[in-house]
Amino acid sequence: MRRRDFLATAATAAAFVRGRHLAALGRAERAPLVMPPVYRPDGKRLIGSQVRADIAPGVQANAWVVGDGSRQAASATIRVRRGDLAQIAFQNKLPQQSILHWHGLAVPEAADGAPRLAIETGASYRYEFPILNRAGTYWYHAHPHHHTGEQIYRGMAGLFLIGDAEEDALGLPSGAREIPLLLQERRFDANNEFAYTPVMHERMEGFFGSTMFGNGIMEPTHNVDSALYRLRVVNGTGSRITRLGLSTGAAMTLIGNDGGLLPAPQKLFWLDLGTGERADLLVDFSGLAVGTRVMLKSLPFTPMGEMGMGMGRMGAGGKGQGADLDLLEFVVTKAVTERPWVPKPFPTIAPLVRTAETKVREFRFDSRMMQHTINGKPWEMDRIDEVVPFGSTEVWRFVNTAQFPHPVHMHEVQFQILSRSGGRARLFPWETGWKDTVLVEPGETVEVITQFTQHRGRYLLHCHNVVHEDGGMMMNFEIK
């Protein structure tokens, strides 16, 4: 082990002894879930800045958030309607370069927030783009090269919620019964500040926290009526696969994922979200007595691809992949009697058709010898790896030749998943509809089909395990 890795490991391990006390405090006395401030993108400034945030009862920490510059625990939630024109003036007041990427949205190249567009401390960047995507749970996050992981970890991420007439017609829970939830995880240093110090093995496997956060609050709680709620979940962690489920074992209803509403609701007892993936869920508290507590959890599982590499082990202060984690506590505080929600027909999704003439491109994701590559090459900012004809329909094949999971994300487009071979060798209910991120486990090959019909320009394909993307597992493709 190199000396700097040894020192980082020792320092983080020492900090964990003290950080563990803070985590225990959060479990004994939970803070209420915070609803992030809502931002309408009509030209007002969005500021990335460091603030002193309340993260647990009587506990503060420095967070990096996107908002109006005031003190807040979580970055703003952006709300728009399909067809709106988004106008956003981003100002960087962080001590590092930064830029914002609109994850899942089809936007012009200049508005995509790629690393090469990052701006210096004190500078501003103006975005303007029409909202072309259908209603859904999207998100945004910082995307500067080598610092994406740290900036997301410290709080530079938020929900981007799009509405439209199709969604309105369904009569879904809204107002206080619609809960946006950005999941993150943190560790603490000796001063109970957020510590982002990935050591050598974590730069390969992933950087895991000791404590889960929801909307900037450590293991929060939320009071609910005995009624139906809409829960819009973003896995905004750096490396963790979350297996969402309820402590009661009750089913949840999945109504949407990355690219918006599904063709029909689906009852599920659990679902996996890789980093960057989203789930739009209905959770029913009807009939539960006042005082009932229900925990949204990341259920325990055995990670794939261990192969002696220690996946799932305790890191230097973090809880490993597959750990049993509390995410958000619901407490029923009011009994109500209402007519049950009756599902109406959901919007249809026409399948993209693969023909004998459809072009197939293959991308091999590999991690070895402290290097993360796609097709054997680490990312270079100005190199174009693939040129895609505008207007084309293509199949992209993602092959995981590494020993770690890769949540693969495409900028600009939504895709439909065709197949998975190797590993789990099946598709799951939460992988139907439109997607922009797909979890590819070790030994798996996943094929997706997509169309390049919205914008010309340069975009990114990358792994959304942030230590992998910061380590070079990205690729530029140009639509022309």
The CATH superfamily label for domain 38-168 reads Cupredoxins -  blue copper proteins (2.60.40.420)
Q: What is the pLDDT of residue 343?
A: 86
Q: Which two tokens stand for residue 388?
A: 């895609």
Span 408-434, pLDDT tens digits: 999 999 999 999 999 999 999 999 999
Q: What is the pLDDT of residue 9?
A: 44
CA distance 232 to 255: 10
Which backbone phi and psi does 13 adopt, to 5 degrees? -65, -40
| Fold of the 359-479 domain | Immunoglobulin-like (2.60.40)
Q: How confident is the model at residue 339 (pLDDT cuts 50, 70, 90)?
A: confident
Whether residue 383 is predicted with pLDDT greater than 90 in this model: the reply is: yes
Q: What is the pLDDT of residue 25?
A: 52
CA distance 55 to 463: 29
| Fold of the 175-334 domain | Immunoglobulin-like (2.60.40)
CA distance 246 to 32: 19
In 269-309, DSSP assigns E strands to 271-273, 278-284, 293-298
Torsion of CA 200, 201, 204, 207, to 10 degrees: -90
CA distance 277 to 408: 10
Is the distance from CB of 359 to CB of 452 less than 8 angstroms? no
Mean pLDDT of the chain: 92
- Same fold: 38-168 with 175-334: yes
Q: What is the pLDDT of residue 316?
A: 52
Q: How far is CA 477 from CA 25, 66, 119, 450, in A?
A: 47, 28, 22, 14
Q: What is the pLDDT of residue 310?
A: 41
- The contacts of residue 418 (CB under 8 Å, 6+ apart) are 354, 395, 447, 448, 449
Q: What does the domain layout of the chain look like in residue ranges?
A: 38-168, 175-334, 359-479
13-22, 139-148, 368-377, range with greatest mean pLDDT: 139-148
> 316 or 406, which is more confident?
406
Span 215-242, pLDDT tens digits: 999 999 999 999 999 999 999 999 999 9
CA distance 139 to 159: 4
Q: What is the pLDDT of residue 318?
A: 83
Span 43-79, pLDDT tens digits: 989 999 999 999 999 999 999 999 998 888 999 999 9
End-to-end, the C-alpha distance of the chain in Å comes to 46
Please choose, from the candidates 133, 134, 154, 156, the residue with its C-alpha nearest in 3D space to the C-alpha of residue 143. 156
Number of neighbours of residue 112 by Cβ within 10 angstroms = 25
Whether residue 336 is predicted with pLDDT greater than 90 in this model: the reply is: yes
Q: What is the pLDDT of residue 370?
A: 81
325-334 sheet: strands from edge to edge: 221-225, 325-334, 293-298, 242-246, 271-273
CA distance 46 to 91: 6
Span 183-201, pLDDT tens digits: 999 999 999 999 999 999 9
Span 356-372, pLDDT tens digits: 999 999 999 998 888 89
Span 248-293, pLDDT tens digits: 999 999 999 999 999 999 999 999 999 999 999 999 999 999 999 9
Torsion of CA 91, 93, 97, 101, to 10 degrees: -40
Q: What is the pLDDT of residue 173?
A: 97
